[in-house]
A and B are shown apart, each in its own frame.
Chain A
Amino acid sequence: MNRRSTTRLVTFAAATGLAVASLTGCAGGGGDEGGDGEVTLTWWHNGTTGPLPEVWEEVATEFEEAHPGVTVEQTGYQNEDLQRTLIPNALAAGDPPDLFQVWPGGELRDQVENGYLMPLDDVIPDTIDSVGATVNPWQVEGATYGIPFTFGIEGFWYNTDLFEEAGIDSPPTTLDELIDDVGALRDAGITPIAVGAGDKWPAAHWWYQFALHSCSPESLQAAETEFDFSDDCWVEAGEQLEEFLGIDPFQEGFLGTPAQQGAGSSAGLVANGQAAMELMGHWNAGVIGGLTPDQQVPEFLGWFPFPGIEGAAGDPTAALGGGDGFACSAEAPPECAELLEYIMSEDVQAKFAASGAGIPTVPAATSSLEDPNLTLVAEGLAASSFVQLWLDTAFGTTVGNAMNDGIVNLFGGSGTPDEIVTKMQDAAATL
């Protein structure tokens, strides 16, 4: 083949390629609404286990029945896949689902900045009001872009039987008491605390708790809005954690332990009576229930909030927590907001609470909670003076990841309290 025909061939191929690309580009978008008023809503959520998938399925069906011509295609995906891969890719590709889960803090800010989300204040103001201040993390500069359907705080999920066996009468209310209890459990031959440090974030939550109790609300605010970590409390948090690690409170080989998968995970160790407690978010009852042989939440499971630290600068009644919220994509049809309104209605929230899937955000629905531990968490939430969002969520993916990496290095004995702060500052500098 001579050179000219080769050139021509390449030109032809390139032209065809460009044509194909532009064709697919044209075909994308604007596909939601048919000509005859038929609307299809796609809805991505993280309900894959426990009672949640069934709840969302019913909600979709009920909404379809009440709105003829509307089809709701709801799909549940594994939480981290949804958050880290599926939604970012769908957004970047310009073909997002209509209604989808959004994570507050840094991620929400990025998405709003890119114009991916529908502002909701003028569309469903009553719904926004119904959840009160809980909606704050889903707001950017005063405008609401997402609404949480569940919100809870972190605390210890513990085995009441094992506590009794170790001679502990009541859950600890101060850090010193917790340290004593760890000793008592060790003496009784029981692994005191399970931590899924292999997944990074469960280990990081320990540091978050120490930071929350060491830093004043003003320092926390400065960190979240300006990435200002100059307050000494951020280093102190690491020092406290280092000291706590020194009493050997965790199970053997915790650096390789996953949080939620299988009997060997930290939740599995608690579920099967091989560890006495685990510091974990409000969703943990469901996870533990899924890891027992009979798939039931064990009788022995109890809950207590993270104890206060004597003499620390932080607010002792502050809690660490987070929630799951939904948002509509900027190009979604108006029915999307209606579906969100329905999801947030008292009926659905009560159904959600009764199913034991989590703690509802509409206060009137809280009375429908049946699970005694979720009731405890809800009471703990109500008693908290303020709730700090999970720090990795609050700081956004980049700083959050650097922070978690620094914390697990401390867990592994290869990092220092100062390094955690340095890593966060370095990561913030790249933004």
Chain B
Amino acid sequence: MTATLQPAGPATAAGPAPTPGRRRPRSSAARQRIEIVLLVGPALILFLGFVILPVILAAVYSLYNLPPAFRWEQLAEPDRFVGLANYQRAFDSPEFVRAIGNNFLILFASLLIQGPLAIGIALLLNRPLRGRTALRLLIFVPYVLAEVIAGLAWKLLLQPEGGVNAMLESLGLGFLQQNWLADPSIALWTLFWILTWKYLGFAIILMLAGLQGVPEELAEAAAIDGASWWQIQRHITIPLLGPTIRIWAFLSMIGALQLFDMVWVTVAPTVRGMATETMATYMVQQGQFAGQPGYGSAIAVILFFISLAVALIYQRLALRRDLAGAVTRGVR
């Protein structure tokens, strides 16, 4: 390791030592180089060491059968290398397949339920309305709350003897009482409700910001032409809101695929295993708690590729126009 450092270090360090005659251009180029190294270097080292390297290591570990708290040397032991057996096991496991299903169910439910809801509320809040600022503020509050705090609060409210059931009782709706988080047949929908409560505010704020970019003149012109409020929203506002909706959908999809903390905090391990496991919770459960770092790493790699595939496909199909120039220009 020191040997690698020796040539590289001095070479860069020796750069500024100028040869007389061609002093100015060289020194300014060298100086620029040092500046770049100094500015980018630390961040690059952190990025390589704490993001890229672990990603590569996870891919390596996923090919091994490793005990908890393994040593580096154990990678070289015979029988440790199992090739793609961990991946095979993951796709053969009904638990993991169900976890993937849960992720996609939450993904589609978010798009189909949260999206229209957020657009509708944003359109309403965009009209002149008494107490509009206060309303906007209120709607954004859940998003500002820490995930764990919101999760614990809902967990307490949704206990069998908790606030939600007590409220239903006092409203005379006692027959609607449920073991919200303890009944595997409804736990996933309870969880989805909590997620909607938490993230709807973010979607609404995003849509409201998008609505600010829709020129009022268009609506006015349409109104003069005799268009109703509905027609204006349908044919002018929402199409112009398109880029915002597509970006929101992208964020929502990634969030649904990576979903971990809300599930971990609110749902008891038993019910989680039966009904609300996601790819990320399954990964932590198997990799950390069941003491199988190799298998857990394989799950991580699968999660990575599923997210990547979804992101790429979505970018191709939906985001292409929106991002034209923003992302692609720098690369080409």
Contacts and interface: CB of A to CB of B under 8 A. Distances in A.
A418 interface: no
Interface string B58-96: 000000010111110010000000000000010000010
Interface stretch (A28-36, A143-151, A400-408): A400-408
Contacts of B102: none
A15 B269 contact: no
Nearest to A259: B268
Nearest to B33: A5
Interface in A82-132: 84-85, 87-89, 91-92, 107, 110-111, 113-114, 116
A253 to B, nearest CB: 4
Contact of B68 (A88, A199, A203): A88
B269 A198 contact: yes
Contacts of B181: 256
Contacts of B16: none
B5 A408 contact: no
A270 B71 CA distance: 44
B9 interface: yes
Contacts of A197: 268, 270
B160 interface: yes
B268 A198 contact: yes
B159 interface: yes
Contacts of B289: 84, 397, 401
A336 B274 CA distance: 44
B36 A9 contact: yes
B163 to A, nearest CB: 12
B290 A15 contact: no
Contacts of B268: 197-199, 255-258
Interface in A362-401: 396-398, 401
A48 interface: no
Contact of B12 (A8, A92, A198, A199): A8
A203 B69 contact: no
A22 interface: yes
Contacts of B71: 92, 114
A88 B67 CA distance: 10
Contact of B271 (A16, A198, A264, A398): A198
A44 to B, nearest CB: 14
B57 interface: no
B48 interface: yes
Nearest to A427: B290
A85 B291 CA distance: 10
Nearest to A90: B69
Contacts of A396: 291
B168 interface: no
Contact of A198 (B11, B270, B288, B292): B270
A11 B273 contact: no
Contact of A414 (B5, B36, B40, B184): B184
Given A14-B48, A253-B160, A253-B182, A412 B67 contact: no
A89 B291 CA distance: 11
Interface of B: 1-2, 4-5, 8-9, 11-12, 33, 36-37, 40-41, 44-45, 48-49, 65, 67-71, 74, 89, 95, 159-161, 179, 181-184, 267-271, 273-274, 288-292, 295
Given A92-B71, A264-B159, A409-B274, 5 more contacts: A9-B36, A15-B8, A15-B9, A91-B69, A256-B179
